[in-house]
Amino acid sequence: MNSIDAEDIGKARPIDEVVEECERAEKILLKEASRSDRKQLEELIKISKSLWRAPFAFRGQAKQYRLSVRSRSYGMRDLISLHASEFRFVHELDWSTCWWEEDAGKDLRQAIQKRLDEDHARLTAWGMHLMSHPLTKSYNSKLLKEFGKRFTKDKRLVDIFHQPYLTTSEDRELQYGMAEAASNLIAFQGSLAQHYGLDSRFLDLSFSPKIAAWFALQPNWEHVLKGERVYGYIMRFLLPALQTHIMDYRFNWKPKPLHIADISNMPTTIAKRPSLQLGISLPNSPDPLFSSHLVGSGYVDCLPFYTRPCKLMSKIIKMDLYPKDDPFFEVINSFGQWKAQ
């Protein structure tokens, strides 16, 4: 079964080889780095291990979603979308579409803005629901207190917060500071919802390349079980590099906070999926659209694969990442605005 780009079929490798390479990504990266880069990479990896389980995270995709964006200032830009569902790729695309030529992008802009407004309203209601539900109330309160402590430690942000008028730069600094302080709370409310089927402005990854491969194969699972050859992608992210160096909204290389949050340690008494899926999220990602220049840069790598009979495939087929006895369904069913997937 083939749903990947024709040009990537020839580049695809056996799934077990790709997963093994991903598991050894840290050693391979350091081995292939030049002497001048190795010291910086070692420092980044050291920092990442103090923040997360590992310096790399992965995402499975059955196929790539590509866009060509026309900007008056920058011309045509080829972009790769990392969100597979209908409108998830437009994660904050409201600022991008305004650059598209008026005659080409008006209807799309309106559709995107409408969807973003709906998602924002639903996520706001969802956050209020988590604050009041008996199963999540205490955990949400704990994260809210943590946010308060982290925010008040930064005297600069507290001073800006109490100012009656803010400059553009101060307003942006305040927003970034609040997002960083609230990253765990935001991840709990938003990314947790997305793990159960709610569209949101979050990009969900996994620390495990095996789990990423499982998700890449899901749309063609029937063919997998028949033993047919199935193609897919594993996207490999170098987290510490993404944390500080991503493309900003004007397509310039510029340090910008990404606020990566680890939700893989979510208590299983509340929700089982995050720990089973070794989930990690980018709760304040500026956009899940990555330029083709970024993919293959070492920060994000796209690795096409195909299935074949092997021990790894046997393990992947036996995985159960959507347990039916998940206690979090109680929270979802009492919300009523969407159904778990």
* CA atoms within 13 A of residue 324's CA, in its CB half-sphere: 0
Please give the full DSSP string across 73-116, using - where no structure is assigned.
TTEEEEEEE---STTGGGTTTHHHHTTS-HHHHHHHHHHHHHHH
Res 252: pLDDT = 40
Assigned token pair, 75: 């011309």
Average pLDDT of span 99-119: 59
Res 41: pLDDT = 76
98: exposed, middle or buried (Cβ count in 10 Å: 0-12, 13-18, 19+): exposed
Q: Residue 268 CB: number of other CB atoms within 10 A? A: 15
Round to whole Å and give the CA distance between 184 and 178.
11
223-281 pLDDT tens trace: 999 999 999 999 998 887 765 544 333 334 344 455 677 788 888 999 999 999 998 87
Res 232: pLDDT = 94
> Is residue 147's pLDDT more than 70?
yes
Q: 181 and 257 in contact (C-beta within 8 Å)?
A: no
Provide the whole-model pTM. Answer: 0.79
Round to whole Å and give the CA distance between 203 and 281.
6
Residue type, 61: Q
> Is residue 116's pLDDT more than 70?
no
Expressed in angstroms, the distance from the first to the final Cα of the chain is 24
Assigned token pair, 123: 């996520």
Assigned token pair, 222: 């029937």
Q: Please report where in the chains the tokens 């209807």 appear, as a residue.
A: 107
Average pLDDT of span 307-327: 93
Average pLDDT of span 11-25: 94
Q: 193-214 burial by CB neighbour count: b if 16+ within 10 A, else e?
A: bbbbebbbbbbbbbbbbbbbbb
Res 89: pLDDT = 41
Q: 239 and 56 in contact (C-beta within 8 Å)?
A: yes
> Is residue 19's pLDDT more than 70?
yes
Share of the chain above pLDDT 90, in %: 23
Q: Residue 85 CB: number of other CB atoms within 10 A? A: 11
> Is residue 85's pLDDT more than 80?
no
Average pLDDT of span 174-183: 72
Categorize the per-residue pLDDT at 197 as very low, low, confident or very high, splitting at 50, 70 and 90.
confident
Q: 77 and 68 in contact (C-beta within 8 Å)?
A: yes
Assigned token pair, 327: 């206690």
Round to whole Å and give the CA distance between 271 and 187.
13
List, in sequence order, the alpha helices (H) in 195-327: 209-217, 221-225, 239-244, 273-276, 311-318
Average pLDDT of span 11-39: 86
Res 74: pLDDT = 57
- Judged by DSSP in three states, 307 sits in coil
Nearest partner of 281 among 152, 186, 217, judged by Cα? 186
> Is residue 91's pLDDT more than 50?
no
Assigned token pair, 114: 């409408």
> Is residue 331's pLDDT more than 50?
yes
Residue type, 174: L
Of 34-38, 71-75, 170-174, 310-314, highest mean pLDDT: 310-314
Assigned token pair, 263: 């939700």
201-227 pLDDT tens trace: 677 889 999 999 999 999 999 999 999
Residue type, 134: P
54-80 pLDDT tens trace: 888 999 988 876 666 665 555 666 666
